[in-house]
């Protein structure tokens, strides 16, 4: 009797799970598979395990949490880029790619005492208007102590719909130690719509060399970049260094839009290829070509800086500009993320989604550089420690003055005073030296541009199986926009 009841419950749970997992339109695709695959038999163990959890686990389980865990496990079993996206993470990701969010306009980090601290208020945003300063410690958010709070928890409390108010209790450390306690400041800030920029730095260096550093690829990136190029040309820019180092990518379409700022109309930027013979997003293939005339002529000297953390969409731009001899690539081999992820919203859990690898992208040279990366035309290596110190130096140079954001300290190449502690940006220095050495871009390419058969090679089977370089991330000092 118990066996029959257990089998009935197992079947009921199994069918419920199938309905949950396949209720996003996947069932039609499953039924379209060949009978030999027998998908329901293959996933039956999920229902059996859920039944064991429901009837035997020491505590009353939350089945939705268990199912969510199963989804996470399924996605993690595929590859390093496919994943489950919970509701809150999906919301934040959408805000980031849209290029704006609602909040007060500060970036926060954990200081050396692991206290929630303002890294910098965004100029003109509500926090700056309310008098919030870099270095302020956020002690309370709407009366809730931040002691032991993570950056994500603090972010969720600070953000909110535009027009609403958040109350912050700030501790402002004195510049010099004194006997009295640091002053406590109470501020009420009305939230608003805050833009998220893709341009981290933009300036004209000595010799009329423009420098623009792009952090990622959003919907607004190409427009931002075009505006900055026009602005710098008005300031006398005669050549450009486009810095894509530490750029993890972003929207695939944004890479095409950025590339078409430099390439002739109708030029192939990239194409994607999925798994043939199936239905659904994995079958989608795209050929992305430039649709507009470039904003600068093809004789305008262009150098692109890359490093081992230049990935995805930034590699697409790098590959296209290198293949069509439109830019000289300087730095070290890129990350090697040649796969395309499609974001698929789920009906349940409500508001969540999955990030599914559905295709590989190919450079115009007809190779995918997944797990392989793109080799530069001119090598300029930097050690991990040099990079760490340089990033700290750059951040310190504008921490207390948002207006210095475009004037960050890269060492002598940016005209900063050089001391024994100064870290030189070797890669930017090399790019500037190249542009100064030969003002005629065609001659520069003839001297340094390598055959793309050497720089853009398909990954070998051994390389494809190897783990890619992990991006450097010091979570204790991560900066989170609010």
β-bridge pairing 209-214 and 239-243: parallel
Same domain, 291 and 431: yes
Do 111 and 24 lie in one domain? The reply is no
What angle in degrees, to the nearest 10, is found between the helix axes of 313-323 and 252-259? 30
**Cα 172 from Cα 186, distance rounded (Å):** 11
**What are the residues whose beta carbons fall under 8 Å from the beta carbon of 362, sequence distance 6 or more?**
270, 271, 272, 273, 338, 368
Task: Indicate whether 312 and 423 sit together in one domain.
Answer: yes
- Cα separation, 227 vs 223, whole angstroms: 6
Tokens matching residue 239: 């050549």
* Tokens standing for residue 158: 């600070």
177 and 238 in a single domain? The answer is: no
The tens-digit pLDDT sequence of the chain (482 residues) is 445 555 544 545 454 555 555 455 444 555 555 555 577 778 788 888 888 998 899 999 988 888 888 888 889 898 888 899 888 788 777 766 665 678 898 888 888 788 999 877 877 789 888 888 878 899 999 999 999 888 888 888 998 888 999 999 999 886 454 455 668 899 999 998 887 788 999 999 999 999 999 999 999 999 999 999 999 999 999 999 999 999 988 888 999 999 999 999 999 999 998 876 454 554 457 899 999 999 999 999 999 999 999 999 999 999 999 999 999 999 999 999 988 888 899 988 888 999 898 888 999 999 998 989 999 999 999 998 999 899 889 988 887 777 788 999 999 999 999 999 999 999 999 999 999 999 999 999 999 999 999 999 886 654 444 333 333 333 333 344 44
Question: Domain for residue 94, yes or no?
Answer: no
The verdict on residue 85 lying in a domain is no
Number of domains in the chain: 3
What's residue 241's pLDDT? Answer: 98
CA distances from 93 to 98, 382, 471 (A): 9, 31, 19
Which residue has 């996947």 as its token pair? 26
Q: What CATH number does the domain containing 407 carry?
A: 3.90.226.10
322: three-class secondary structure by DSSP: helix
Beta bridge partners of 356: 342
Please check whether residues 430 and 284 belong to one and the same domain.
yes
Residues in contact with 451: Cβ distance below 8 Å, sequence separation at least 6, in sequence order = none
**Which residues contact residue 16 at a Cβ distance below 8 angstroms, ignoring those fewer than 6 apart?**
none
Closest CA to 481 of 96, 94, 201, 147: 96
The model carries a pTM of: 0.77
Is 242 part of any domain? yes
Same domain, 223 and 298: yes
184-190 vs 353-362, strand pairing mode: unpaired
Half-sphere exposure of 107 (CA within 13 A, CB side): 16
Q: Does residue 239 lie within any of the structural domains? A: yes
Residue 481 to residue 151: CA distance in whole angstroms: 10
Domain region containing 133: 100-195
Six-digit token string for 120 = 């910098």
One domain for residues 318 and 430: yes
Query: Considering the domain boundaries, does residue 476 fall inside one?
Result: no
Among 130, 163, 195, residue at a domain's last position: 195
**Run of H or E including 72:** helix 63-76
């Amino acid at each position: 009797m118990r066996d029959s009841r257990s089998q009935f419950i197992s079947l009921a749970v199994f069918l419920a799970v199938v309905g949950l997992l396949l209720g996003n339109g996947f069932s039609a695709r499953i039924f379209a598979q060949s009978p030999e695959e027998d998908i329901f038999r293959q996933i039956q163990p999920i229902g059996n395990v859920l039944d064991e959890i429901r009837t035997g686990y020491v505590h009353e389980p939350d089945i939705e949490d268990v199912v969510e865990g199963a989804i996470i496990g399924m996605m993690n079993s595929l590859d390093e880029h496919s994943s489950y996206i919970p509701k809150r993470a999906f919301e934040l990701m959408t805000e980031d790619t849209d290029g704006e969010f609602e909040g007060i306009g500060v970036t926060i980090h954990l200081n050396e005492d692991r206290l929630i601290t303002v890294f910098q208020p965004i100029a003109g945003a509500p926090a700056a208007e309310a008098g919030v300063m870099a270095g302020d410690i956020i002690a309370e958010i709407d009366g809730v102590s931040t002691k032991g709070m993570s950056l994500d928890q603090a972010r969720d409390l600070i953000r909110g719909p535009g027009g609403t108010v958040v109350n912050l209790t700030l501790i402002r450390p004195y510049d010099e130690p004194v006997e009295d306690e640091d002053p406590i400041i109470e501020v009420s800030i009305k939230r608003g719509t805050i833009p998220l920029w893709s341009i981290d730095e933009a300036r004209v260096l000595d010799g009329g060399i423009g420098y623009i550093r792009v952090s990622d690829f959003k919907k607004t990136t190409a427009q931002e970049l075009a505006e900055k190029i026009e602005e710098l040309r008005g300031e006398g820019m005669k050549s450009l260094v486009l810095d894509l180092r530490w750029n993890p990518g972003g929207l695939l379409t944004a890479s095409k839009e950025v590339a078409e700022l430099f390439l002739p109309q109708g030029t192939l930027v990239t194409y994607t290829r999925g798994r043939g013979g199936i239905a659904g997003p994995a079958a989608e293939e795209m050929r992305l070509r430039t649709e507009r005339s470039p904003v600068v002529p093809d004789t305008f000297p262009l150098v692109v800086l890359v490093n081992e953390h230049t990935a995805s969409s930034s590699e697409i731009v790098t590959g296209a500009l290198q293949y069509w001899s439109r830019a000289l690539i300087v730095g070290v081999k890129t990350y090697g993320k040649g796969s395309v992820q499609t974001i698929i919203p789920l009906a349940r859990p409500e508001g969540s989604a999955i990030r599914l690898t559905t295709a590989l992208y190919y450079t115009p040279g007809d190779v995918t550089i997944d797990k392989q990366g793109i080799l530069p035309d001119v090598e300029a290596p930097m050690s991990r420690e040099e990079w760490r110190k340089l990033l700290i130096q750059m951040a310190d140079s504008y921490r207390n003055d948002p207006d210095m954001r475009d004037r960050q300290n890269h060492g002598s190449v940016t005209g900063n005073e050089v001391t024994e502690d100064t870290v030189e940006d070797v890669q930017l220095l090399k790019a500037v030296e190249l542009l100064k050495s030969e003002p005629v871009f065609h001659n520069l390419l003839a001297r340094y541009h390598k055959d793309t058969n050497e720089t853009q090679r398909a990954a070998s089977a051994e390389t494809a199986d190897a783990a890619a370089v992990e991006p450097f991330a010091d979570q204790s000092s991560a900066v989170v926009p609010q």
